[in-house]
Amino acid sequence: MKKIAQLSRREREVMDLVFAQGEATLSQILEGMEKAPTRAALRSILTILEGKGQLKHRQEGREFIYQPVHAPSPSLTGQVISSPNWSKISDTSTP
């Protein structure tokens, strides 16, 4: 299974929404996103996720319905990897 941890923040957000619903259309994903990107940008993200082997789709009428390829990993679902808060890291090189 490909690692979900290697996804960008936006890709992770999309995967979390699709996992939560089991399957979702582009419109449903847009509705669930904070600060949603444009439809074209989200289509690009979905295509990237398909290329990474995280999503698959089927077509019903004019809409694509996206489904996760793998079950979510309990240790990674919703996990946000943040950068350290450098202001809280003291300089140990000075006496």
Tell me what the mean pLDDT of segment 29-37 comes to. 93
- Is the model's pLDDT at 24 over the cut of 50? yes
pLDDT band at 4 (very low <50, low <70, confident <90, very high): low
pLDDT at 74: 63
- Band the pLDDT of 5: cuts 50, 70, 90: low
For helices 39-51 and 9-21, give the axis angle rounded to 10 degrees.
Answer: 80
Residues 43, 27: Cα–Cα separation, whole Å: 10
- Domains of the chain with CATH codes: 4-88 (1.10.10.10)
pTM for this model (two decimals): 0.71
Give tens-digit pLDDT for 60-85: 999 999 999 988 766 544 544 443 44
